[in-house]
């Protein structure tokens, strides 16, 4: 009995190795994610006519940013796996060649996609919401974030190289610098402080974009250190190799396709939430027309015309959209922590496969899963027991907190499975099983998250609770599928 209980907890020696590698990555991912969290928090302090629609607009913008930029940023999968494998094989020059070609892909593709994304920001946005308040606040913010896709892709290219080497602390230091820059600029541009113009929600996007380019410069600077410039021979034009470019793309493309499907699924998820807000607005209009006479005597003394008053109240704020953005931000703490832990796991898996130690690779992965379950389980428990306190960290609007309390508790109950799915998906990426992860994500979104959220939230009218029940089903399904695949062991024989 004691032996069985002991197997439930992570091995101390391997845990120390995993955490030594993962801690800087987790801290860096959380620190970088704080840019998005900070935007939600700071926009929440604006007047209500900006805050609720602004937070809903941020929700669409961040997902669109990851849909477009995340597709190209998937080069991190191939870059990290190949750099780690080359290092495991004792070929540092080969690892340097990988990052050089990765940087070329990042610059060319990042520049083209940045220009196209900025041009088509509004049409993209309107595919998923027609709420004029959300469009007014969200499109300028989204366009500002799109302008930094090049910085996002370039930074991730260098990050994945260092992660593959096990030098995970570089991105942590970079992320801290980015957050300081973002915090100062966002405070000034959102509220019109420090001699800067007041740009409201748009100011948060401008600040995040500038901070992203700071991050790119810093990450590129680390590669110019002598031990990387000479020891890995990174910056040599002779490193350019179409064969290496092709291998990076082939390994990364499934992850990019999966990212597109995942983010499209979440955008449709948000679209269903927007339909709920529209329904609530229609119900509000009907109630206003019935109460017209009662309200008129109250508003005329304040000099507000009857038509102006009705128009003001008919502009129903997207409460469900704002609540969903807050819930996603809360979940992103677990999500990005698991992504960081999974990144470290991918490095350990790939390096040990390069050393021809597949069983050791598997042992490290299961150790990381147990650590992730402990962390996400605790975070989920806090969400279940103290949902309002958690939400008040991001919003002060009572309506938003009321709408999001029960959905947060529901998804928090299964949050531990997020840790399982995220870590094992990254471990499979490290092994080179990128196509399986792609197919699994496409199937889970196509037959689970998107249709189930519409069925429960819209068709059966369980509203936001029904939509988030579908998210819980998706999270549990992801953990179960990744567990099954990893236990099969066929990933141990993939060559990259």
Give residue 425's pLDDT band: very low, low, confident or very high (50, 70, 90): very high
Banded pLDDT at 429 (limits 50, 70, 90): confident
Query: Has residue 14 been placed in a domain?
Result: yes
- Using alpha carbons, list the distances in angstroms from residue 237 to 100, 222, 276: 9, 19, 55
Query: What pLDDT, on a 0 to 100 scale, did the predictor assign at position 317?
Result: 65
Q: Which residue has the higher pLDDT, 128 or 418?
A: 418
Does residue 103 form part of some domain?
yes
User: Torsion over CA of 321, 323, 327 and 332, rounded to 10 degrees?
Assistant: 50
* 1 found inside a domain: no
pLDDT of 286: 57
Domain count, the chain: 1
Contact yes or no for 159/76 (Cβ under 8 A): yes
pLDDT 10s digits, 291-333: 444 444 444 333 434 444 344 444 456 788 888 888 988 888 8
pTM, two decimal places = 0.73
Share of the chain above pLDDT 70, in %: 90
Which residue stretches of 386-433 are H helix? 387-392, 398-413, 416-431
Mean pLDDT value of segment 111-125: 92
3 lies in some domain: no
For tokens 């896709």, what's the residue?
Answer: 149
- pLDDT at position 296, please? 40
The structure tokens listed for 26 are 């987790």
Q: How many Cα atoms sit within 13 Å of 493 on the Cβ side?
A: 3
Higher-pLDDT residue of 58, 8: 58
Please tell me the predicted confidence (pLDDT) of residue 433: 87
More confident site: 356 or 283: 356
What span, in angstroms and rounded, lies between the C-alpha atoms of 247 and 213? 27
**pLDDT for 16-54, tens place per residue?**
888 887 777 777 777 767 776 777 778 878 887 777 778
Task: Please report the pLDDT score of residue 176 as a whole number.
Answer: 87
User: Residue 89's domain spans which residues?
Assistant: 9-493
Region 251-262: what's the mean pLDDT?
Answer: 83
In a domain, 284, yes or no: yes
Residues 237 and 244: their CA atoms lie apart, in Å, by: 14
First-residue to last-residue Cα distance in the chain:
41
- For the stretch 152-167, pLDDT in tens is 999 999 998 998 888 8
User: Cα separations (Å) of 327 from 6, 50, 324, 400, 420?
Assistant: 34, 19, 5, 10, 20
In a domain, residue 4? The reply is no
CB-count exposure of residue 359 (10 Å: 0-12, 13-18, 19+): exposed
**pLDDT value at 207 more than 90:** yes
Sorted by sequence, the CB contacts under 8 Å of residue 136 that are 6+ apart come out as 53
In a domain, 38, yes or no: yes
Residue 165 lies in a domain: yes
Q: Residue 143: is its pLDDT beyond 80?
A: yes
Orientation of helix 149-165 relative to helix 75-88, angle to 10°:
20
**d(C-alpha 346, C-alpha 348), whole Å:** 6
């Amino acid at each position: 009995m004691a032996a069985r209980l002991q197997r439930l907890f992570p091995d101390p020696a391997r845990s120390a190795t995993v955490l030594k590698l993962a801690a800087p990555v987790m801290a860096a991912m959380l620190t970088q994610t704080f840019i998005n969290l900070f935007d939600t928090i700071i926009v929440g302090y604006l007047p209500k006519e900006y805050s609720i629609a602004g937070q809903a607009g941020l929700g669409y913008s961040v997902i669109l940013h990851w849909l477009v930029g995340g597709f190209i940023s998937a080069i991190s999968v191939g870059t990290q796996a190949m750099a780690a494998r080359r290092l495991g094989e004792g070929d540092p020059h080969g690892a340097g060649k990988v990052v050089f070609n990765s940087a070329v892909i990042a610059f060319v593709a990042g520049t083209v996609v940045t220009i196209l994304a900025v041009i088509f920001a509004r049409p993209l946005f309107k595919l998923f919401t027609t709420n004029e308040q959300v469009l007014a606040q969200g499109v300028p913010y989204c366009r500002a974030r799109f302008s930094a896709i090049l910085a996002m892709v370039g930074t991730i290219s260098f990050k994945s190289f260092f992660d593959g080497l096990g030098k995970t602390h570089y991105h942590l230091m970079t992320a801290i610098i980015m957050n300081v820059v973002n915090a100062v600029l966002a405070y000034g541009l959102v509220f019109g402080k420090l001699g800067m113009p007041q740009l409201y929600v748009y100011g948060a996007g401008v600040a995040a974009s500038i901070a992203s380019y700071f991050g790119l410069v810093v990450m590129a600077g680390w590669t110019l250190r002598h031990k990387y410039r000479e020891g890995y021979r990174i910056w040599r034009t002779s490193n350019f190799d179409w064969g290496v470019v092709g291998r990076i793309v082939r390994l990364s493309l499934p992850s990019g396709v999966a990212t597109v499907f995942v983010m499209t699924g979440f955008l449709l998820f948000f679209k269903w939430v927007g339909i709920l807000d529209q329904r609530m607005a229609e119900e509000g209009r009907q109630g206003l027309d019935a109460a017209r006479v009662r309200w008129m005597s109250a508003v005329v003394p304040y000099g507000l015309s009857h038509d102006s008053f009705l128009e003001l109240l008919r502009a129903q704020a997207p409460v469900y959209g704002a609540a969903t953005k807050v819930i996603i931000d809360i979940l992103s703490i677990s999500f990005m922590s698991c992504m960081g832990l999974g990144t470290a796991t991918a490095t350990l898996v790939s390096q040990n496969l390069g050393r021809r130690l597949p069983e050791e690779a598997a042992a490290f992965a299961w150790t990381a899963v147990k650590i992730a379950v402990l962390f996400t389980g605790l975070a989920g428990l806090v969400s279940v027991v103290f949902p309002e306190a958690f939400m008040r960290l991001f919003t002060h609007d009572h309506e938003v907190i009321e709408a999001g309390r029960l959905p947060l508790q529901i998804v928090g109950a299964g949050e531990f499975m997020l840790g399982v799915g995220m870590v094992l998906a990254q471990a499979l990426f490290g092994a080179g099983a990128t196509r399986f992860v792609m197919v699994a994500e496409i199937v889970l979104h196509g037959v689970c998250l998107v249709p189930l959220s519409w069925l429960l939230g819209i068709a059966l009218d369980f509203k936001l609770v029904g939509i988030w029940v579908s998210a819980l089903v998706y999270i549990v399904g992801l953990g179960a599928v990744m567990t099954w695949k990893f236990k099969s062991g066929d990933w141990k024989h993939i060559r990259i």
